[in-house]
Amino acid sequence: MTRSELLEKISEILGEIVEMDDLHLAETTKAEDVQDWDSTNHVRLLVAIESTFGIRFETDQIGGLQNVGQLLDLVESKL
Amino acid sequence: MSVSVVDLPWLPAAPANFAAACKSIGADGCKAGPALQYLSGFRLTAQQSVSVWRALKRCKQQGIDLSPLSDFRLGILTNATFDLLNDQLPAAAARHGVALELVTTPYDQVVQQALDPLSVVNTSNLDAVLVAVDHRWLALDRPKLDENPQDHVSNAIKRLRQVVDALRENGRTTAIIQTVATPPHALFGNLDRRVPGTVRSMIDEVNRAIVQLAAETGSYLLDAAALAERVGTDLWSDPVRWAAYKLPFAAEFFPIYADMLGRLLASIRGKARKCLVLDLDNTVWGGVIGDDGLDGIHVGQGSSKGEAFLSVQQAALELRQRGIILAVCSKNSDEVARVPFREHPDMLLREEHISVFQANWTDKPSNLEAIANALNIGVDSLVLLDDNPAERAQVRASLPMVAVPELPDDPGWFAWHLLAAGYFEAVAYSAEDRLRADSYASDAKRATVMAKARDLGDYLSSLGMVITFAPFGKSGRQRIVQLINKTNQFNLTTRRYTEAEVVAADEDGATLTLQTRLQDKFGDLGMIGVVICRSTSNPEVWDIETWLMSCRVLGRGVEQAMLAEVVEQARNRGALKLIGRYIPTSKNSMVADHYHKLGFQQVEIGEATGTCWELTLADYSRPQLSMQVVRGDTVLMRAAQ
Assess whether pLDDT exceeds 90 at residue B195.
yes
Count of alpha carbons within 13 angstroms of residue B10, beta-carbon side: 24
What is the signed CA dihedral for B422, B425, B430, B433, rounded to 10 degrees?
-70
Contact A51 B251 (CB under 8 A): yes
Chain-chain contact of B252 with A51 (C-beta, under 8 angstroms):
yes
Report the run of H or E that residue B519 belongs to, with start and end: strand B511-520
pLDDT category at B400 given cuts 50, 70, 90 is: confident
Q: Which domains, ranges and CATH numbers included, belong to chain B?
A: 12-68 (no CATH), 70-268 (3.40.50.1110), 275-456 (3.40.50.1000), 465-639 (3.40.630.30)
- Give the C-alpha distances (Å, rounded to integers) separating A71 from A64, B58, B362: 10, 33, 58
Q: Does B18 touch chain A (CB under 8 A)?
A: no
**Residue A34 one-letter amino acid:** V
How many angstroms separate the CA atoms of B639 and B476, rounded?
Answer: 9
B637 confidence band (pLDDT: 50, 70, 90): very low
The verdict on A59 touching B (C-beta cutoff 8 Å) is: yes
Looking at the predicted structure, is the pLDDT value of residue B636 above 60?
no
Identity of the amino acid at B37: Q
The DSSP call for residue B509 is T
Q: How far apart are CA B515 and CA B637, in angstroms?
A: 9
Q: Please, which residues 518-537 of chain B have a Cβ atom closer than 8 Å to chain A?
A: none
Nearest to B34 by CA among B89, B94, B91, B92: B94
pLDDT at B638: 46
The whole-chain average pLDDT of chain A stands at: 92
pLDDT tens digits for A11-27? 999 999 999 989 999 99
Q: Do B46 and A47 touch (CB under 8 A)?
A: yes
> Which residues in chain A are closer than 8 Å to B252, comparing Cβ atoms?
51
User: Quick check: B45 contacting A, CB < 8 Å?
Assistant: yes
pLDDT over 80 at B476, yes or no? yes
Report whether pLDDT(B608) > 80.
no
What is the predicted pLDDT for the residue at B635? 44
What is the structure's pLDDT at B179?
98
Report yes or no: B265 and B425 within 8 Å, Cβ to Cβ.
Answer: no
Does the ipTM surpass 0.95?
no
Q: What percent of chain B has pLDDT over 70?
A: 96
Residue B46 in contact with partner chain A when CB distance is under 8 A: yes
Judged against a pLDDT cut of 90, whether residue B434 lies above it is answered with no
Contact across the interface for A59 and B240, Cβ inside 8 Å: yes
Identify which of A16, A43, A62 has the shortest CB distance to residue B84.
A43
DSSP string across B389-429:
HHHHHHHHHH-TTSB-----S-GGGHHHHHHHTTTT--S--
Per-residue pLDDT reduced to its tens digit, B317-369:
999 999 999 999 999 999 999 999 999 999 999 999 999 999 998 899 999 99
Interchain CB distance below 8 Å, A59 and B245: no
Nearest one of B261, B75, B81 to B167, comparing CA atoms: B75
Burial of B224 (C-beta count, 10 Å sphere; 0-12/13-18/19+): buried
Find the residue in B nearest to A13 (Cα).
B47
B251 close to A (CB below 8 A): yes
Count of Cβ atoms closer than 10 Å to residue B119 Cβ: 21
Q: What is the pLDDT of residue B552?
A: 80
Which of A44, A59, A62 minimises the CB distance to B84? A44
Q: Specify the 3-state DSSP secondary structure of B176.
A: strand
Distance, in angstroms, between A41 CA and closest chain B CA?
A: 9
The pLDDT of residue B438 is: 73
Mean pLDDT across chain B = 92
Report the pLDDT value the prediction gives residue B639, as an integer from 0 to 100.
46
User: B247 to chain A: which residues are within 8 Å by CB?
Assistant: 43, 47
Instruction: Check CB contact under 8 Å for B46 and A40.
Output: no
* C-alpha span between B419 and B276 (Å, rounded): 11
Q: How confident is the model at residue B146 (pLDDT cuts 50, 70, 90)?
A: confident
Q: Where are the beta strands (DSSP E) in B444-494?
A: 466-470
* Average confidence (pLDDT) over B205-209: 98
A3 to chain B, closest Cα gap in Å: 23
> What's residue B605's pLDDT?
76
Question: Three-state SS for A1?
Answer: coil
Over residues B280-289, the pLDDT tens digits come to 999 999 999 9
Q: Are strands B174-178 and B466-470 parallel, antiparallel or unpaired?
A: unpaired
Distances (CA, A) of B315 to B18, B339, B418: 34, 21, 9
Q: Going by DSSP bridges, is the β-strand pair B523-535/B511-520 parallel, antiparallel, or unpaired?
A: antiparallel
**Which A residues, 14 through 53, put their C-beta within 8 Å of a C-beta on chain B?**
16-17, 19, 40, 43-44, 47-48, 50-51
Compare CB distances from B251 to A13, A47, A62 and report the shortest one's residue. Answer: A47
Distance CA B197, CA B104 (A): 35
Residue B450 pLDDT > 90: no
Three-class DSSP category at B524: strand
pLDDT score recorded for residue B468: 95
Residue B415 pLDDT class (50, 70, 90 cuts): very high
State residue B346's pLDDT score: 95
Residues of chain B in contact with residue A51, where contact means CB-CB under 8 angstroms, are: 45-46, 251-252
In angstroms, the CA B233 to CA B179 distance is 14
The mean-pLDDT minimum among A56-70, B186-200, B247-261, B446-460 falls in B446-460
Flag whether pLDDT at B457 surpasses 60. no
Read off the pLDDT of each residue in A52-59 and give the average, rounded to a whole number.
90
Angle (CA) B452-B455-B456 rounded to 5° is 110
> Which of A28-37, B219-228, B413-422, B449-458 is predicted with the least confidence, judged by mean pLDDT?
B449-458
Bigger pLDDT: B436 vs B86: B86
Give the helix ranges, DSSP H, for B131-221. 149-171, 199-217
Residue A63 touches chain B, beta carbons under 8 Å: yes
Strand ranges, E, within B205-360: 220-222, 275-278, 325-331, 356-360
Interface test with A, best of B18, B49, B240 (most A CBs within 10 A): B240
User: B466-470 and B628-631: which strand pairing?
Assistant: parallel
DSSP H/E element including B308: helix B304-321
Which domains does chain A carry? 3-78 (1.10.1200.10)
From B90, B126, B91, select the one nearest B105 (Cα to Cα). B126
Length reported for chain A: 79
Confidence check: pLDDT of B465 > 80:
yes
pTM over 0.95: no
**Phi-psi region at B203: left, alpha or beta (left = phi > 0; alpha = psi -120 to 50):** alpha
Exposure string (b/e) for B177-194, b if CB count within 10 Å is 16 or more?
A: bbbbbbbeeeeeeeebee
Cβ contacts below 8 Å, chain A against chain B, sum to 36
- CB contact under 8 Å between A48 and B47, yes or no, is yes
**Close Cβ partners of B457 (under 8 Å, ≥ 6 residues apart):** B397
Mutant choice from A9, A23, A36, A47 vs B, greatest count of B C-beta within 10 A = A47
Question: B85 — contact with chain A (CB < 8 Å)?
Answer: no
The shortest CB-CB distance from A59 to any of B46, B54, B243 is to B243
Q: Following DSSP, what letter does each residue of B243-261 receive, concatenated?
A: HHH--SS-GGGHHHHHHHH
